């Protein structure tokens, strides 16, 4: 129930008020469970509200003359102590007792005040009824219905069973309006706070969902897209290519002799290499329709939409040069004295049969050829008129 979200901006004052109420209602509360915090807040605010109303009445009796209201004044004093006790119980961690004590005290208090002085404070039963589902949300519908029925019964009994009012008509009218306004106001405040809480929860949920989705599509080590998002992207681009009669190229990149790099320099150093190599790859494919993903292990995949084979090959060569230019020493590589990579490339147009899985497979075959031919080079899967063949360039 802490801070207001961005939605509070247009209603800054209202937000400040809810913050103040939250601060008052949760003063000294150490609890973390949101449900428990809501209950404590509600009990504290209701106990404080009841205490304020009771004190107002005590002041009124004091000004008007205590004698005719002696019984009510004593009753008010006892109930005031009980409301304060509820606040104290919450601070001591006796949450259930505080809640039950508040509901019991309020029920009896309202009933007896009406019975003894006929002041129509039973209007506050509306507030109590509104609060019950929020206070006893775990109790089940049946128990809640029973509690609600008891409160309603008390309301009816108080309404028809109260003594004739001891106050003259104009004062009584004003009190009636004040009680009605007080009961409605308290319902409004509670509804406002809970609505603010629902909005805050919704925002948190949406934020968490976005973050989870990002995590499920991203490779943690390199920050590139992962294999799952690669597949989703390829599926989408494949359909787009077919719709728009375009072309698609795939580069499958694999670091050379990475096992021996790990063996000699250690796994953390290997991780660092993966991160460093991810950078030129990510910056190389920058069109919105391009994608770079970590396919798995030390293998990266680049998808280039609407890119003919000649352009894709140019990019592949540039990438090989950029990785070499990183100058990461690799004394145990069979390809060079620095870390290098091999690239397998496959391109297709809409006229070509097969799906994107086939294209991936072709790029993989080309990568195998590049490795076989000595690493640190590009191999292209070419589709001839009569047959397919691979060429290392
Ligand atoms: N540091 C690190 N190593 C990884 C990671 N994922 C895979 N590897 C390592 O990458 C190595 C890949 O080895 P191989 O598939 O034998 O290939 P290679 O040694 O690179 O040889 P060629 O591909 O034939 O050049 C394995 O030793 C894996 O443990 C990772 O996230 N971090």
Tell me: do 249 and 177 sit in the same domain: no
- Structural domain includes residue 31: yes
The reply to whether ligand 1 has any atom less than 6 angstroms from the CB of 298 is yes
Region of poorest pLDDT, from 276-280, 300-304, 357-361: 357-361
Tell me: do 252 and 382 sit in the same domain: yes
- Structural domain includes residue 17: yes
Per-residue model confidence as pLDDT tens digits over 357-382? 899 999 999 999 999 999 999 999 97
Which comes out higher in pLDDT, residue 166 or 1? 166
Contact (CB, 8 A) for 82 and 101: yes
Structure-token pair, residue 168: 């003259």
The reply to whether ligand 1 has any atom less than 6 angstroms from the CB of 371 is yes
Cα(282) to centroid(ligand 1), Å = 20
The reply to whether ligand 1 has any atom less than 6 angstroms from the CB of 299 is no
Tell me: do 163 and 299 sit in the same domain: no
**With b meaning 16 or more CB within 10 Å and e meaning fewer, what string describes 75-113?**
bbeebbebbebbbebbeeeebeebbbbbbebbbebbbbb
Please give the number of the atom of ligand 1 that sits closest to the Cα of 375.
25
Q: For residue 289, give its domain range.
A: 227-392
Mean pLDDT score across all residues of the chain: 88
Strands, E assignment, 182-330: 247-255, 290-296, 299-305
With the most atoms of ligand 1 within 8 angstroms of its CB, the residue from 260, 298, 330, 374 to mutate is 298
How many structural domains compose the chain? Answer: 2
- Structural domain includes residue 1: no
What does pTM read for this prediction? 0.65
Please give the number of the atom of ligand 1 that sits closest to the Cα of 221.
31
Tell me: do 244 and 387 sit in the same domain: yes
Residue range 1-29: mean pLDDT, rounded? 59
Residue having the nearest C-alpha atom to atom 28 of ligand 1: 259
Those residues whose C-beta lies under 8 Å from the C-beta of residue 272, and which sit 6 or more positions away, are: none
- Structural domain includes residue 221: no
Please give the number of the atom of ligand 1 that sits closest to the Cα of 262.
1
Tell me: do 42 and 183 sit in the same domain: yes
Tell me: do 144 and 259 sit in the same domain: no
Residue 392 pairs in a beta bridge with 379
Query: Does 208 have pLDDT greater than 50?
Result: yes
| pLDDT at res. 8 | 44
Q: Which of 213, 247, 275 is at the close of a domain?
A: 213
Tell me: do 153 and 270 sit in the same domain: no
DSSP 167-220: S-HHHHHHHHHHHHHHHHHHHHHHHHHHHHHHHHHHHHHHHHHHHHHHHHHB-T
* Structure confidence at residue 393 as a pLDDT band (50, 70, 90): low
CA-to-CA separations, 97 to 101, 103, 113, 137, in angstroms, rounded: 6, 10, 23, 16
Residue range 341-366: mean pLDDT, rounded? 86
- Structural domain includes residue 358: yes
Region of poorest pLDDT, from 12-21, 23-32, 193-202, 256-265: 12-21
Residue range 318-329: mean pLDDT, rounded? 96
The percentage of residues in the chain with a pLDDT greater than 90, rounded to a whole number, is 60
């Amino acid at each position: 129930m802490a801070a207001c979200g961005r939605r509070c901006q247009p209603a800054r004052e209202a937000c400040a008020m809810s913050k103040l109420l939250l601060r008052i209602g949760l003063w000294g509360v150490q609890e973390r469970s949101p449900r428990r915090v809501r209950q404590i807040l509600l009990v504290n605010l209701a106990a404080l509200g009841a205490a304020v109303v009771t004190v107002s009445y005590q002041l009124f009796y004091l000004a008007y003359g205590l004698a005719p209201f002696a019984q009510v004044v004593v009753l008010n004093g006892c109930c005031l102590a009980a409301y304060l006790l509820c606040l104290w119980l919450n601070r001591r961690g006796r949450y259930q007792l505080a809640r039950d004590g508040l509901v019991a005290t309020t029920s009896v208090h309202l009933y007896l005040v009406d019975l003894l002085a006929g002041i129509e404070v039973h209007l506050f039963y509306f507030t109590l009824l509104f609060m019950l589902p929020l206070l006893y949300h775990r109790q089940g519908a049946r128990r809640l219905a029973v509690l609600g029925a008891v409160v309603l019964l008390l309301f009816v009994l108080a309404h028809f069973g109260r003594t004739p009012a001891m106050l003259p008509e104009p004062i009584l009218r004003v009190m009636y309006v004040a009680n009605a306004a007080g009961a409605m106001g308290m319902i409004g405040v509670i509804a406002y706070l809970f609505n603010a809480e629902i909005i805050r929860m919704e925002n948190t949920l949406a934020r968490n969902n976005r973050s989870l989705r990002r995590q499920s599509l991203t490779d943690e080590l390199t920050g590139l897209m992962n294999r799952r998002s690669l597949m989703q992207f390829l599926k989408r681009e494949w359909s787009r290519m077919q719709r728009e009669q375009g072309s698609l190229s795939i580069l499958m990149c694999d670091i050379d002799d990475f096992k021996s790099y790990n063996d000699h320099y250690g796994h953390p150093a290997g991780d660092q290499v993966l991160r460093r190599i991810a950078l030129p790859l990510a910056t190389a494919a920058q069109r919105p329709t391009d994608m770079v993903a970590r396919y798995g292990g030390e293998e990266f995949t680049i998808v280039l939409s609407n890119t003919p084979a000649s352009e894709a090959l140019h990019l592949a060569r540039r990438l090989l040069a950029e990785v070499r230019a990183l100058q990461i020493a690799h004394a145990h590589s069979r390809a060079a004295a620095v870390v290098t990579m091999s690239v397998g490339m496959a391109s297709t147009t809409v006229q070509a049969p097969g799906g994107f899985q086939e294209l991936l497979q072709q790029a993989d075959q080309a990568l195998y050829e590049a490795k076989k031919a000595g690493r640190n080079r590009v191999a292209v899967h070419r589709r001839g008129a009569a047959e397919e063949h691979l060429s290392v360039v």
